């Protein structure tokens, strides 16, 4: 008798770049679970939920641009997600689809590998959903977030929501913080040469963290290393948030190191393929 495969999935637009299928499927294989994780490019949150129900998907990851829009269509959302204003994880329980957010957990676990967050100041570039998750996580650990915004309207709104100070990104060279965090997509492949901060402004920070994970070493992190800063890549955050999703869906402990190796291997393969195509062209 064939064992039934449990389905999990990623919903967003686009999804082709995501490392989540490689990472999750490596985990399920290592755990010996009859499970498969697929990616679905959808046009709306409603379409995603319809597919989840029709295909009997037991758990789902939500990525851009549906992390906020999804919330209005769910049967329930936990308090952390309400404060953050976004969900990235759905679980099906007794016919209901419930939302939570593991981005902030992935962020905290990644950052805490390098420094104690309590009492330290973290300058967060951006005002996206990723920035909201980061600021929520910083607050949870007793840190002090500071918003560095490009868009005054969204930046000031974010700072107001979390009761933290803000200033224009142009003031970066006069900002005092232990750690600078890029929570924007600037520097993401294929525009991998872009960065919001240059070496001269970075030397004042002990640590620089980039939530972009493709490429693994972004232009920002290269500049930060040259300035003498400690650097934190975006890949561990991706892995840790995915591991927390697996805990929520299966109740089991995921093989985090196996997930990290699978994601890193795939990322390096893509970077190598990209360089080869560039030479051919």
Examine the residue annotation and report whether 67 is marked as an active-site residue of this protein: yes
Rounded Cα distance between 223 and 245, Å, is: 33
With beta carbons less than 8 A apart as the criterion, state whether 264 and 214 touch: no
Given the residues 4, 36, 67, 279, select the one marked as catalytic: 67
- Count of positions (residues) in the chain: 281
- State the distance between the two ends of the chain, measured CA to CA, in whole angstroms: 51
Catalytically active residues are: 67
């Amino acid at each position: 008798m064939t064992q039934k495969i449990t389905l999990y999935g990623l919903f967003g637009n686009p999804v082709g770049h995501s490392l989540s299928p490689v990472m999750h499927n490596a985990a399920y294989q290592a755990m010996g679970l009859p499970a498969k994780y697929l990616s679905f490019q959808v046009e709306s949150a409603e379409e995603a939920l319809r597919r989840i129900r029709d295909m009997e998907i037991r758990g789902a990851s939500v990525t851009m641009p549906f992390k906020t829009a999804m919330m209005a269509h769910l049967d329930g959302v936990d308090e952390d997600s309400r404060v953050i204003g976004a969900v990235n994880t759905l679980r099906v329980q007794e016919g209901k689809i419930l939302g939570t957010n593991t981005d902030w957990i992935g962020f905290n676990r990644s950052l805490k590998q390098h420094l104690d967050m309590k009492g330290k100041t973290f300058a967060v570039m951006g005002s996206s959903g990723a920035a909201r998750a980061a600021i929520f996580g910083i607050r949870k650990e007793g840190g002090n977030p500071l918003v560095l915004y490009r868009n005054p309207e969204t930046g000031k709104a974010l700072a107001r929501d979390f009761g933290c100070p803000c200033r224009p990104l142009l003031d970066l060279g006069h900002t005092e913080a232990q750690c600078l965090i890029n929570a924007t997509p600037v520097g993401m492949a294929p525009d991998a040469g872009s960065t919001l901060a240059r070496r001269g402004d970075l030397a004042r920070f002990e640590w620089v963290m980039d939530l972009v994970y493709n490429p693994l070493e972004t232009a920002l992190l290269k500049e930060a290393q040259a300035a003498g800063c400690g650097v934190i890549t975006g890949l561990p955050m991706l892995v840790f948030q995915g591991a927390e999703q697996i805990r929520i869906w299966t109740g089991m402990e995921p093989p985090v190191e196996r997930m990290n190796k699978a994601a890193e291997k795939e990322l390096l393969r893509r970077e190598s393929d990209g360089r080869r195509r560039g030479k051919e062209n």
